[in-house]
Amino acid sequence: MNDMTRDRQPPAIERYNANERTNHWFVVIAFLLTAVSGLALFHPALFWLSALLGGGTWTRILHPFLGLVMAAAFAWLAATMWKFNKMEPRDWQWLRKSKDVVVNKHEESVTDVGRYNGGQKLMFITLVVCVAGLLLSGIVLWREYFSMYFAVGVVRFAAVVHGVCAFVLVCAIVIHIYAAFWVKGSIDAMTRGTVTPGWAWKHHRTWFREKIHATHPRTRPD
Amino acid sequence: MALQSLDIVRRSATTTASPNVRAPSTVGQVAKLIDTTKCIGCKACQVACSEWNELRDEIGTNVGAYQNPHDLTDQSWTLMRFAEYENPAKGGDLEWLIRKDGCMHCADPGCLKACPAPGAIVQYANGIVDFQEENCIGCGYCIAGCPFDVPRISKRDKKAYKCTLCSDRVAVGLEPACIKSCPTGALVWGTKEDMQEHAAERVEDLKSRGFEHAGLYDPPGVGGTHVMYVLHHADQPQIYNDLPADPQISPMVGLWKGAAKPIALAGIVLTALAGFFHYIRVGRNETHESDEEAAARETEKASHE
């Protein structure tokens, strides 16, 4: 810390530790493979994506297993992030002012933001619901092992649920990726693990204060 | 197999035109008429199907009924279903209703609509709906799409199979194998028009013999079928081992493989474009030196508290 002060570099604040980052990027890889294979089967215009997994038949074979891997890895990630993503009154307040945030204006007027803002929490909840929906409907649709245990009406309903959840999930992830790029410094948080104090102060001020008080506890003898 | 002597009017998971220069209007629409009132349940058609298509189902177990095998399989593309019906209108008289089950070759095929593999299911200009197993990926969506519960995935190669209406025979001017084997004339083959006319005569005859609800089963919900039944009780097809009264492509399948596809694709593309143009119009949300200074002041304050 002292070295960094001497270099006039602001001390970095840890946002994601190595395990969290590994977990996140594992989910990313599993998601990309699952999404590519799923989209190939969803619309004929995207069937060419099946070539990336070794053809149509391999896509059909691999997609459900990839989905299971993604769901398991995401479940782990969601479990570690669950406690930070409960909606609170201040999150609804943030959402009411989010119009300004989206156009990069007056973000300083919404100061009470914890580790995640209202938008991020809604994203988290959306992802949890979609992955759960995809997992359950995907089991019903898995012809090789499970579909025969369900009535055809249930299989058809599962196909619609699977399609709707996948659509919402893919759109949500597109937003998630863009938002990470848009708010400069966020990608560093998930690759290097740290953010600058200014980033934390600007975007997550309450979390920033928790962090600095944790680093400089009030009970310090000085 | 791709039968180039037959014109293709529809091809699964294909957004461009199918090969159709040979003016499909010159091709007659074919149909198989199954007259359940003439069927004696001999199963010659099952044997003929097995012989011609080189299929050998496993020998099953006898459960005290004539129906054998118990269900359609990847090796049994046609099956006589036996129903013992006690007719309440005739004082509970027993009627043995025998229905040759198999693919109905719908004009609007649910299997083809649901199939995600380009060219795995085709519909020929003559009306035959055929699976092209070399393009089949084995997902089983055709099973979810079919209103008649016909396609079966093979345990051996995980591909979907069903009655081809002997498209290989029909392509060279022969009738399907089952037709050739029928000893009572319960199975008739010809153009769809001729079969409808023939059925009308049969229905008239049946009505004169006391079957007032006799009729032709050519369900309009799937655009009509290229396998049709003459039924003694056309008013209640479900008594023939659950032949659906009003089959149609399920609205769920219609949504999943209809409107949802272009809307979802457009939605994903628009979401990505919205992000791109947000960047172009609004730009990135950056942290400035003033933010770092404010953070440093607070940190300093906290460390002296």
What would you report as the CA-atom Rg of chain B, rounded to the nearest whole angstrom? 28
Q: What pLDDT band is residue A99 in, cutting at 50, 70 and 90?
A: confident
Q: Over chain A, what is the mean pLDDT?
A: 91
Residue ranges of the domains in chain B?
A: 8-249, 256-304
Alpha-carbon distance of B295 to A205, in angstroms, equals: 9
B8-249: CATH topology: Alpha-Beta Plaits (3.30.70)
pLDDT of residue A217: 57
Predicted ipTM of the assembly: 0.92
pLDDT in tens, B238-254: 999 999 999 999 999 99
pLDDT of residue B25: 56
Contact B295 A102 (CB under 8 A): no
The answer, yes or no, to whether residue A208 has pLDDT greater than 90, is: yes
The residues of A carrying an active-site annotation are: 176
Alpha-carbon distance of A190 to A179, in angstroms, equals: 13
Whether residue B283 lies within 8 A of chain A, CB to CB, comes out as yes
Contact B291 A198 (CB under 8 A): yes
Alpha-carbon distance of A31 to A134, in angstroms, equals: 12
Tokens of A120: 């991020």
Alpha-carbon distance of B189 to B176, in angstroms, equals: 8
Better pLDDT: A105 or B130: B130
CA angle at B133 for the pair B128 and B134, rounded to the nearest 5°: 125
Q: Indicate which of B270, B285, B288, B290 best probes the interface with A, i.e. most A CBs within 10 Å of its own CB.
A: B285
The answer, yes or no, to whether residue B1 has pLDDT greater than 50, is: no
Q: What pLDDT band is residue A9 in, cutting at 50, 70 and 90?
A: low
Q: Which residues of B touch A163 (CB under 8 A)?
A: 256, 260, 264
Report how far apart, in Å, the C-alpha atoms of B182 and of each of A57, A212, B73, B185 are.
Answer: 38, 88, 21, 6
Whether residue B135 lies within 8 A of chain A, CB to CB, comes out as yes
Are the beta carbons of B177 and B51 closer than 8 angstroms?
yes
The answer, yes or no, to whether residue B166 has pLDDT greater than 90, is: yes
Alpha-carbon distance of B137 to A56, in angstroms, equals: 6
Contact B268 A182 (CB under 8 A): no
pLDDT of residue A111: 67
Q: Which residues of A touch B260 (CB under 8 A)?
A: 160, 163-164, 167
Residues of chain B with pLDDT > 70, as a percent, come to 96
- DSSP collapsed to 3 states, chain B: CCCCCCCEEEECCCCCCCCCCCCHHHCCCEEEEEECCCCCCCCHHHHHHHHHCCCCCCCCCCCCCCCCCCCCCCCCCEEEEEEEEEEHHHCCEEEEEEEEEECCCECCCHHHHHCCCCCCEEEECCCCEEECHHHCCCCCHHHHHCCCCCCEECCCCCCEECCCCCHHHHCCCCCCHHHHHCCCCCEEEEEHHHHHHHHHHHHHHHHHCCCCCCEEECCHHHCCECEEEEECCCCCHHHCCCCCCCCCCCHHHHHHHHHHHHHHHHHHHHHHHHHHHHHHHCCCECCCHHHHHHHHHHHHHHHHC
Are the beta carbons of A12 and A194 closer than 8 angstroms?
yes
Contact B138 A160 (CB under 8 A): no
pLDDT of residue A108: 67
Report how far apart, in Å, the C-alpha atoms of B149 and of each of B58, B161, B216 are.
Answer: 20, 12, 21
Among A1-10, B195-204, B285-294, which is the least confidently predicted range? A1-10
pLDDT in tens, B125-152: 899 999 999 999 999 999 999 999 999 9
Q: Which residues of B touch A157 (CB under 8 A)?
A: 252
pLDDT in tens, B15-58: 988 877 766 555 589 999 999 999 999 999 999 999 999 999 99
What does DSSP assign to residue A85? Answer: -
Mean pLDDT of A135-142: 98
CA-based nearest residue in chain A for residue B13: A44
What does DSSP assign to residue A7? Answer: T
Query: Which residue ranges form the domains of chain A, and what is each CATH number?
Result: 14-87+113-210 (1.20.950.20)
How many residues comprise chain A?
Answer: 222
Are the beta carbons of B295 and A198 closer than 8 angstroms?
yes
pLDDT in tens, A181-190: 999 999 999 9
The answer, yes or no, to whether residue B106 has pLDDT greater than 50, is: yes
Mean pLDDT of B280-287: 95
Q: Which residues of B touch A155 (CB under 8 A)?
A: 143-144
Among B62-66, B175-179, B274-278, which is the least confidently predicted range? B62-66
Mean pLDDT of A39-61: 96
Better pLDDT: A219 or B57: B57
The answer, yes or no, to whether residue B280 has pLDDT greater than 60, is: yes
Are the beta carbons of B229 and B72 closer than 8 angstroms?
no
Contact A178 B294 (CB under 8 A): no
pLDDT in tens, A143-172: 999 999 999 999 999 999 999 999 999 999
- A-B CB pairs within 8 A amount to 162
Contact B292 A153 (CB under 8 A): no
Contact B141 A159 (CB under 8 A): yes
CA-based nearest residue in chain B for residue A59: B137
Q: Which residues of A touch B297 (CB under 8 A)?
A: none
Cβ within 8 Å of residue B59, ≥6 positions away: none
Q: What is the pairing mode between strands A194-195 and B30-35?
A: unpaired
Tokens of A213: 């008080």
Q: What pLDDT band is residue A112 in, cutting at 50, 70 and 90?
A: confident
Q: What pLDDT band is residue B171 in, cutting at 50, 70 and 90?
A: confident
pLDDT of residue A220: 43
pLDDT of residue B4: 59
**Residue entry with tokens 């097995």:** B50
CA-based nearest residue in chain B for residue A204: B295
Q: What pLDDT band is residue A5 in, cutting at 50, 70 and 90?
A: very low
